[in-house]
Every structure is written in structure tokens, then in C-alpha cells.
Structure 1
Amino acid sequence: MRRAWRIALIGLGLLVLVLLGQMGARYLGLLTPRDTPEERSALLTPFYNVYLPENGGGPFPTALLASGCDGPHDNMARWAGMLNEQGWAAVMVDSHAPRDYLDFQVWRLICAGQIFTGTERAGDLAVALEDVRGMTFADPDRLMLFGASHGGWAVMDLLSQAATPRPPQGLTRWPGDPQARGLAGVLGALVAYPYCGPGSLAARQGWAAELPVEMILVRNDEITDEQDCLDIAEGQTAVRPVAVTMLENATHGFDQQEREALSTLEFSPDATATALGLGRDFLGRISGPAPVPDN
């Protein structure tokens, strides 16, 4: 009996080592599939969800939205609605559906850090930015990035990867102008309760992009450690200070009402209203005057 337990424990230990090795390899990009920007664009384009303001004919300043690890939900529509009210277009970049990560709840492996890191997902945002620059409704010189949770991780890791000529993890090269490294026309980035832990490239090396960045965090976040995000913000003061707002009495994903059964997270209308107000203020700070159309 004792021998059986010993064998079982050894087997369990080996399984843990394999999983840790797989996770480490994934975070280092060793297991990340590589494709060209054109191939990635073909994958993502059918799943872009576009929200346009009701008034005006454009071109509009445009924000790209990246959801949490469980895929797009109602919170993305709320942020898009706020953007539209402020005269901004919004493009929701769905990284899940094109890869069938919503089938059979595969997204749970993303939330557990087993597949599809934010560092890898940053490549989706780089390609989507280049795609949006070519969309007739979008002003390519007035773009913004928004990410929630896992999407916030992807946004910050895109900023971090833009510091080097190396393209985002999983891409063979930078899309568009390689000198711009994906950030041409980007006026700023807003992230809500992002993952900022040791798996984040931004946590390890920060970023050099001279963009205004704002974080909306929650106190005692039970999913991600908000202190890790505060550490990133503190480390960025030499480049450009990161604005941080800490929300009290709210949980991770406070702006998302659609929940899986048994979820301990709670939708908070008050925290959502506060966050959307911070978003409006952020847009006002980065927008500047609208361009004068040519006669």
C-alpha cells in the first residue's frame, strides 16, 4: 500500500513538473504558434465587432477593446456605448472565438494561465491596430487601447514589446511600419483590473512608450494582485507617470453582469458608473481638438 502511494505521489509530482514546464515554455514563447500579420488579420477580421457613434460621418477617433480571459461579455458593450456617446468608434477585438476558445469552456485554461498568455495576445492588438487604420470610419491618428483583466495584460504587454524591434510573441514581424512598432496614432491606453503578475512582460521590463496610461484597480482583488499593478505604475515614473484609481468595495470584473454559475464576483453598478466616468475623463485628456476637415 505504501509503495502504491509512493508511486502515485511520484506520478503526481511528474505531472506537476510537466505542467509547470509547459506553462514556462508558453510564457517564454517556445510553444507559441507563429504566423504573419496577414495570417493573423485573416483570423481576426471576421470577428471584429464594430460600434459607431450615431451622429457624424467620421472619421472617428477609435478605441480597440480587449475582453477578459472568459471572452467578450456585456461589459465590452458598456465601454463601447460610453465611447460612442463621446464621439468615439469602438472595435471589439475578439481573440477567443477565432480560436474556438469559447467552445467547451476552454477559456478556463486561459484564466488559469495554461494557454494564450497576454504577451501572446498582444500580437492580436498590434494586428488589429493596423487593420483599424485602414477602416474608412476610423481616424488613424486618434486611436486608443482599452483592456479588462486579461485584455489589460495584453494591452500593457503590447506597450512593453513595442520597446524592442522584436515583434509581439507569435508574430513573424511587426504589422505595418516596423519603426512604429504597432503604436502609430495611439494616444493612450486604459486598463481595468489587469493581470500584472510575474508572467506579465510589463511587470518584468515595463515599457518605454511615451503614452498616457491609466489603471482602474480594485482593493483586495481576489483574482489578480493589485499591488503588482501598483509596482508597475511606480516603476514607470521615469518614463511617464501612470494614473491609478483604486476602487473600494468592488470585485474583479465589477463591470460585467454576465457570470458563470457559482461565480463569486459581483456586478457593481456604482463601480461601473465610476469607471465609465474615469474613461470619459481619460478620453477628454487624450483627445485634444478634433482635426479640421479639408475643404
Structure 2
Amino acid sequence: MLDTLKHRFNLLEPYITAYGPKDKTARPAVLLFHACNGVRAHIHAYAQQVADLGFRAYVVDSFTPRGWDETAAMSLVCTGLALHGYERSGDVLAAIWGLAQRPEVDADNIIIAGWSHGGWAIMDLMTEKLTRDGEARLRDPTPEPMKGVKGVFLVYPYVNFPARSNTHGWQYAPKTLAVLAKQDFLTSHSHADHILNHLKAEGVPMQRLDLDCTHCFDEDSALHFGPLMAYDRRSHEKTMAAFEGFVRETFSQGD
């Protein structure tokens, strides 16, 4: 059974963590979508970075509302058994739709940011017209919330099979910055390079930051598996600097 936009947002809303000034002034907002291992400390750190700039940030947890803890996320989502990017793209759309209705959010100035699986979900959403029931696994999708999306920030996005950006162009073209890891084992750098170059050729204003590091390089966690996912402080710092610059530039254009 498909969710409505409202039902999906109602499911997510209790598990969305808000950052930013404690007022009701309408401010630009960044929505952050975590990787397949769930919300980790570094995602909250990026959100706090946005708040320190005077904007709003919202960390959207896709797993706790579904009753999944870290173990379930690793065994179900990271293995591809549940919640592919296309299905989770409904979370992204619902979060934009619901948060844009809050008086403290400037609905015309929104950035969506995704890490790994979160990037997959965002990129899948970009391929959908959202005019047909069932798209994004929602009963009533609509492209209306996408009008306020001024930027997309992607960090080691998963664009291997079955990500839709392999075979579908984007229906929307917000300014995009993608951070790629040259040693990424989940999506080879050469493949990600090919996909992003194709999107750029089709008119997506695509910026790139290519770093000599692995997947999940910005997560300082014991969950990493040796050389395949190793923390790299320098690459992390470069990504945070790029994130801050992207947020500042994107929202300044909305003034």
C-alpha cells in the first residue's frame, strides 16, 4: 500500500532533528539524508555547521520511523534487501513538502544533501516527473515542492545499479555539488565520473570535488572495514569547507 505525502511526512516528522535559530523567522533550510548505516554523528556535525551560518538544518532519519535500528539498517538497507533509493526518494519529497509548510522555513530556498544511500535517494528523486501516482512510491506525488529546491549536495553518492541516474536524465536542474571519493568501492570513481559528466552535458549545473579517499571518509567510526572505508581528516575538512561555501553561495543567490 502506497503512502500519501502527508502520511509519509507524519511518519518521518517525529524523527527529524532541527538545527538553527530559536525563532520563527522564515530562513533558508538544508535537509540532510544519511547513508545506509543510519544517522551518524558526522551528519549532525554538518547540520550544526549550517546552523552556525544562521540558516536552518534538518536531519531526516529514514530508519527509526520504520522500526529499524543500526543492525537492521546494516543487514537490510546496506545489502540492498530493503528501501532502494527509488522508494526512499519518497522520504525526500515528503520531507521537502512537510518542512516547507513550516513558517520558520523559507520554502523558496532549500538545499537537499545526501550521503551515499541518501545521495542515491536524492538522485532518484531528480529523475522523476512526480505527476503519476506511484512515483517515489507515493500515492499522490507532486513536483510542486521541487520548485523551492535551489541546491543539491552529494557526498560519495551511490550511483551503481539500480540507481535511476544510470538510465534516466534529471527532471530538475538545481545547482549541484558532488563530492566523489577516488577509492570508492561501492561506486567506482570512473563510473560516477561518467554519470555526472552525462548529467552536466544534459544541463545540470554540476560542480565537482574529487578527493583521494574511500567511501565514508568523513565518518570517524569503528564500523569501518579496514582500507575499504577509512576516515580521512583532510578530505573531511575539505568537504566541510566545500559544504559551507555551497550553502553560502546558494542561499546568497536567493536574496
Give SS of 2:192's match.
helix
Under a length normalisation based on structure 1, what TM-score does the superposition of the two structures give?
Answer: 0.79
Counterpart contact for 1:66–1:93, Cα < 8 Å:
yes
Q: Deviations over 1:155-204 (max 9, x none)?
A: 1111111x352353310111xxx352x30211010000010112001221
Aligned to 1:196: 159
**Map of 2:236 onto structure 1:** 272
| Residue 191 (structure 2) aligned to one of 221, 228, 243 | 228
Alignment of 1:1-295 (within 5 A): 33-53=1-21, 58-102=25-69, 104-161=71-128, 163=129, 165-166=131-132, 168-174=135-141, 178-180=142-144, 182-236=145-199, 237-248=201-212, 250-260=213-223, 262=225, 264=227, 265-288=229-252, 291=255
Relative to structure 1, the CA distance from residue 217 to residue 104 in structure 2 (aligned partners, 3 Å threshold; closer, same or farther) is closer
1:195/1:225 contact within 8 Å kept: no
Q: Is the 8 A contact 1:198 1:204 kept in 2?
A: no
Q: Aligned to 2:136, what secondary structure does the other structure show?
A: coil
Q: Contact 2:33/2:60 (CA < 8 Å) preserved in 1?
A: yes
Instruction: Name whichever of 211-220 and 263-272 sits farther off.
Output: 263-272
Contact 1:59 1:136 in 2 (8 A): yes
Report deviation, 1:57.
5.6
Number of positions where the alignment pairs a residue of Structure 1 with one of Structure 2:
252
CA distance in 1, matches of 2:175, 2:27: 20
Letter in 2 for 1:73: R
Amino acid at match of 2:17: N
Assess, with a 3 A threshold, how the Cα gap between structure 1 residues 210 and 81 changes in structure 2: closer, same or farther. Answer: same
Separation of aligned partners in 1, 2:21 and 2:231: 26
Given that residues 196 and 225 in structure 1 are in contact (C-alpha distance below 8 angstroms), is that contact kept between their aligned partners in structure 2? no
Aligned to 1:255, what secondary structure does the other structure show? Answer: coil
Task: Report which of the two structures shows the higher radius of gyration computed on alpha carbons.
Answer: 1
**Alignment CA distance shift 1:290-1:58 (3 Å):** farther
Q: Tell me by how many angstroms 1:260 deviates.
A: 2.2
Gaps of 5+ in 1: 1-32
Give the superposition deviation at 1:251.
Answer: 1.6
Q: Give the distance between the partners of 2:198 and 2:55, measured in 1 at CA.
A: 31
1: distance between equivalents of 2:34 and 2:187? 15
Deviation at 1:261, TM superposition (A): 6.9
Corresponding letter in the other structure for 1:58: T
Consecutive unaligned residues of structure 2, counting only runs of 5 or more, are none
Structure 1, 41-50 or 62-71: larger mean CA deviation: 41-50
Greater Cα offset, 255-264 or 138-147: 255-264
Q: Mark the CA change 1:261 to 1:199 in structure 2 (over 3 Å): closer, same or farther.
A: closer
Task: Assess if the C-alpha contact under 8 Å between 2:130 and 2:143 holds in 1.
Answer: no
Question: Matched residue of 2:8: which SS?
Answer: helix
Q: Residues 193 and 226 of structure 1 are in contact (CA less than 8 Å); yes or no, is this contact kept in structure 2? A: no
Higher relative contact order (CA 8 A, sep 6+): 2
Residue identity opposite 1:143 in structure 2: I
Give the stretch that moved more between structures: 83-92 or 188-197. Answer: 83-92
Aligned AA (2:206): V
How far has the Cα of 1:103 moved from its partner?
A: 5.7
Question: Identity of aligned pairs, percent?
Answer: 25
Residue 272 of structure 1, CA deviation: 1.0
Q: Structure 1 residues 261 and 76, CA, compared in 2 at 3 Å: closer, same or farther? A: closer
Moved more, 223-232 or 147-156: 223-232
Measured in 2, the distance between the counterparts of 1:62 and 1:49 equals 13
Q: What residue identity is the alignment partner of 2:12?
A: L
Q: Distance in 1 between matches of 2:75 and 2:208?
A: 28
Q: In the superposition, relative to structure 1, how do residues 219 and 262 fare at CA in structure 2: closer, same or farther (>3 Å)?
A: closer
